[in-house]
Each structure stands twice: as structure tokens, then as C-alpha cells.
Amino acid sequence: MSELRVRFAPSPTGYLHVGGARTALFNWLLARKQGGTFILRIEDTDVERSTKESVDAILEGMQWLGLEWDEGPFYQSDCFDLYKEYVQKLLDEGKAYKCFCSGDELEKKRELAMREGRKPKYDGTCRERGDNPEAPYVVRFRAPQGGEVAFDDLIKGRIAFPAEELDDLIIQRTDGTPTYNFCVVIDDASMRISTVIRGDDHVNNTPRQIQLYQALGFPVPQFAHVPMILGSDKARLSKRHGATSVIAYRDMGFLPEALNNYLVRLGWSHGDDEIFSRDEMIQKFDISSVGRSASVFNTEKLLWLNAHYIKNGDRERLADLLLPHLSKRGVTTLGGPDLLLVVKSLQERAQTLEEMAERAVFYYNAPQAYDQAALAKFEQDHLRAVFETVAEKLSDTSAADAAGFDALFKEICAEKGWKMPQVGQPVRIALSGGTQAPGVGEIIQALGSAEAIRRIHNAAAFLDAK
């Protein structure tokens, strides 16, 4: 195993967002390609907003995508004593100090800086205080002055910040709890993280964290900041653009391999290749090939990929995955057609499992009504003749598969002088209730001749009752 150690560190304040899932995927791919270690860490120091439901949703999303972790999940809330030790270490070494400025005082300082055209950062009032009043305080990191903080980002290249722009970061709040930037440094150092791949909304945190690594004597990891995902209006992807939760895409009938394939191509490319198997993603992924620009989420492209994976998917697996979508519609497959045959008849045409389930309902629930507009295209006498002839032929045929039934319909057309649409369409309506259904041969193979005859008789009776 290589020395590469990467991590995905979500905050459990909601579901697993597709942006977070892509970050997790990039970390996972790099670890798998280089034989490294992929660590899952739950950053739950925000006690008020962190919930067990969110943790469960994140784990569920990761597992559904197949992004198995090698170590963890670790929880920041289990490490408060460790964080306090390092806060005290910095205080003892003079690299941190207690700040007694009240909220009102800080706001006045900020307003004054804004009026004077200065950067509204902390002015260092308590940096050199020698007294220790009995008053609430935060602990601030004593940021080095002068020069710059720079790093070579694996995606964005060299990034530098003037040290004067970095104020004395609060590392411990008045209630004794540590702050995000401090916890991240301690966690990444104690977990020996070698490469930090995260969203580029963290770029401004990185110089502050680098200063903390250096002050604590920790090795500084490599950084790779992944550009954000935008909606169609080029604003940051959010609920107003549609679903952003990984589990929502599962519930909408997307396959995990389709979402993984889509996410890996959202900002990364390998020539003109569009479709990647899991193994191909691992083999070809290179973090340096991730683009520097934001990517736009395109649901149509995701649907195209999902249709590809459904079309080429294993039928037994698809049948298992389809069951919850059928159940949601009150459909049970017990005593009905073979679900594998149903899947076979639909997988060429379905973009999602939800769409497949909707189109599969008629197989298990015989139609109670028929597409009147479609039936109206044929003379009543013609419909009756078709239904009678097809039912009679089906009762005598030895055909057992779609090809055999299709051949039977060709024989009927030749015998009666009908064209295939004059037979196929009325029978499709009789069997399914409408025109948007698979070929009649496929339908009859799945339903069986006896059920097909019964439905054709029902359609004929419907005509007679009009």
C-alpha cells in the first residue's frame, strides 16, 4: 500500500450533496489508483446543526455509490480533548493568546475599518495583553506577520496570500469548543492525511490552516481544490435547480454507476471518452486533469448516461432494483409475469427505473380503460375483427417467445391483407391500455398467451359496451 492518505470529511447538517459526492469520488479514485487509503471523517463539531439523521443519510449515499472507505467513519465530536490539548500547546508556546474583546467591541472595530477603507480583520488588540481578567474570552492564533503564505495546488497551480491579509484566527470559542479550521488541521495531521482534495470554497481557509500546521510542527499536506458545480443559470447548484441529494437521484431511478460516471466527468476528462466503467475510472483518473473552471450540472446528460447503463445492465440486478419503484405504485409481482421478461421488454427504452416502473404497471394490473383517441383511429368493425382473429390464433399457436409471436402477427397480416400497424396497434392498446408500450410480441411473451387472450376479450367487450 502506498503512503497516499486522503479523506472525505462532510458535515452532518443535511443530505449527501452531489458536489460532496463528487469530492468523495475524486478522493476514492485517487486512493484506489495509487493503492492508498481513503478515510471517512464526520465533522460534527457544530452540535446544534449536526444530526444522526444526516450522518445516516451521508453513509447511505456513500454506500449506494459504492465509495467504500478504508478507515472510519471517525467523528470530530470524539476528539474534543485532543483539540484542547493542542490549543493549550499553542498558548504555552506563545503562538496563541486569549482575546477578551466583546462582540460589541469587535463590531465597532469592523465598522471603523470599513469606514477607513481597511480590511475588516481583527486589529490585534489583545495580542500583547499582560492581564488576565475574569471575563469571557476566545483563544486566537497568533498569525505570523509579513511575507506570504503560498502553496502549489494540484488543480489550480500556485496560490499565494499576503500574510497581512490573514488575521488572528479564533481557534477556541468562549464556550471552550474548537473552531472548524483548527479541528481540520489537527484531524488531518493526526490521521496522516497526505493529500487534501476538497471544494474550492475552502481555498481561503488553506493559508490559515498552513500557518497552523507550521506552528504545530506538522507536515503540510498537498492540496487540490475542486471547482464548484453550477446550475443551468451558472449559480451555485442548489435545490432550486432540482434534486441535489444523492439519495434523491436513487429514488428517482438513477443507477449508482450512472451517477458516478456523470460526476467523474463533471470537471475531469480523458480525451473524448464519455463512458467509464468503475475499473476504467480508477485506471484513468488523474487529479491534475481536473479542470480549473466550474462545471454546469446537466440533467439531460445524466439521463443519457443512465439510459445507457439501464440498456446494458444485468437484468436480474435491474429487476431487484425495480421492485421498490413498483411497490411505490402499489404493484406486486407475485403471481404476475416474470419480472426478468418485463425488464427485458423495457430496458431498451427506459431512461430511469422510475420510468421503467411506470411503464411496467400494465403487466401486473390489467387495463381498466383504453386510449380513446388511439382507438378512434380504427373502424369499430376492424377492431372487432382484429381482436377476434388474434385471440383465435393465439389459442392455437405453439409460439412461446417474442420472435414467435411476431411471426404469428405477420401470418395474420398476410392472411387478412392487413398492414402490421392495423393489427399491432389495436392489440397493443388491448394489452396495455395505450400505445406507449413495448412490441406486442414482447408483451405477449411476458404476459403469456392465456392472459393476452383474456385482455383481448376484455377490450372487445369494452367495444361492445359502448
Residues 6+ apart with CB under 8 A from 141: 90, 95, 96, 168, 169, 170, 171, 182, 208, 211, 212, 215
Q: Characterize the bridge pairing of strands 148-153 and 157-162.
A: antiparallel
**Considering Cα of 53, then 55, then 58, then 60, what sign does the dihedral take?**
negative
Residues present in the chain in total: 466
Whether 171 and 141 have beta carbons less than 8 Å apart is answered as yes
Helix (H, G, I), strand (E, B) or coil at 457: helix
Helix residue ranges per DSSP H, 339-398: 339-346, 353-364, 372-375, 380-396
Helix (H, G, I), strand (E, B) or coil at 152: strand
DSSP line for 218-256: PPPPEEEEEPPEE-TTSSBP-GGGS--BHHHHHHTT--H
Helix (H, G, I), strand (E, B) or coil at 107: helix
Residue 439: which of 391, 405, 408 has the closest Cα?
405
- What nine digits make up the cell of 448? 403469456
Q: Bridge partners of 295?
A: 229
| Burial bucket for residue 376 (CB in 10 Å: 0-12, 13-18, 19+) | exposed
239 included as an active-site residue: yes
Q: How far apart are CA 18 and CA 247, in angstroms?
A: 9
- What nine digits make up the cell of 85? 490539548
229: Cα within 13 Å, side-chain hemisphere: 23
Q: How far apart are CA 286 and CA 464, in angstroms?
A: 67
290 φ/ψ angles, rounded to the nearest 5 degrees: -75, 130
Q: Which of 52, 95, 98, 239 is catalytic?
A: 239
Residues with a catalytic annotation lie at 239
